[in-house]
């Protein structure tokens, strides 16, 4: 571990300087609270109408949900590798890992879009029942977050390409933290919507 890495590690020990920055972590916890409340509402209504929620849940495809989980996990792995490579001074390798992160995001959004298309053509909309209202709202907002995350990472990657780039480790770490937040939220959404009812 070099001096820069040691300094970084010491800074992360400060309560005001978590990995990715304190602002991002405030955002992350606000998002976790928001999605958490949505999921708790899902479970509440699920207890009121267990049979309806069960019959609705089996209309979802857990295989697609599992594949999407794997897409995001591998994408998160690529993102972590990108941050590590940047810290090691391997800018080009870091850019390559960001590209693979974006590929994971594209695959996730592609499969999710297919699921949405399938539901829409089957006539299962926002007002089908409480389960599908929750499904559309929770996964829809998550979809938007993934899209925003991809825009952020694409912007960072483009700014990293020039040799005199002014993108810092903190910039990349913040973008990575937002991306991992999308992963964290999906890790809660997937079992709650696709498996437990």
In the complex, which residues of this chain contact another protein (CB under 8 A)? 9, 12-15, 18-20, 25, 29, 32-33, 36, 39-40, 43-44, 46-47, 50, 62-63, 66, 69-70, 73-74, 76-77, 79-81, 83-84, 176-177, 180, 183-184, 187-188, 190-192, 195-197
Shortest separation between residue 36's beta carbon and another protein, angstroms: 4
Q: Contact at 8 Å (CB) between 152 and 178?
A: yes
Residue 159, SS3 per DSSP: helix
Length of the chain: 197
What gap in Å lies between CA 79 and CA 98, rounded to an integer? 6
When the beta carbons of 21 and 118 are compared against another protein, the nearer one is: 21
Q: Contact at 8 Å (CB) between 16 and 22?
A: yes
Shortest separation between residue 143's beta carbon and another protein, angstroms: 19
Shortest separation between residue 123's beta carbon and another protein, angstroms: 26
Shortest separation between residue 23's beta carbon and another protein, angstroms: 13
What gap in Å lies between CA 93 and CA 97, rounded to an integer? 6
When the beta carbons of 39 and 117 are compared against another protein, the nearer one is: 39
What gap in Å lies between CA 79 and CA 85, rounded to an integer? 10
């Amino acid at each position: 571990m070099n001096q820069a890495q040691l300094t970084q590690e010491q800074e992360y020990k400060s309560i005001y300087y978590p990995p990715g920055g304190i602002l991002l972590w405030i955002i992350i916890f606000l998002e976790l609270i928001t999605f958490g409340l949505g999921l708790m509402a899902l479970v509440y209504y699920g207890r009121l109408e267990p049979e309806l929620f069960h019959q609705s849940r089996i209309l979802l495809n857990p295989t697609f949900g599992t594949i999407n989980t794997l897409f995001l996990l591998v994408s998160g792995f690529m993102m972590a590798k990108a941050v590590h490579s940047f810290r090691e001074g391997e800018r080009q390798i870091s850019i390559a890992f960001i590209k693979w992160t974006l590929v994971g995001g594209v695959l996730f959004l592609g499969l999710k879009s297919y699921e949405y298309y399938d539901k829409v053509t089957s006539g299962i909309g926002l007002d089908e029942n409480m389960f599908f209202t929750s499904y559309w709202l929770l996964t829809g907002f998550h979809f938007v977050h993934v899209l925003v995350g991809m825009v952020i990472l694409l912007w960072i990657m483009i700014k990293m390409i020039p040799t005199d780039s002014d993108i810092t480790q903190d910039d990349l770490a913040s973008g990575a933290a937002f991306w991992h937040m999308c992963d964290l939220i999906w890790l809660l959404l997937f079992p709650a919507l696709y498996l437990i009812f």
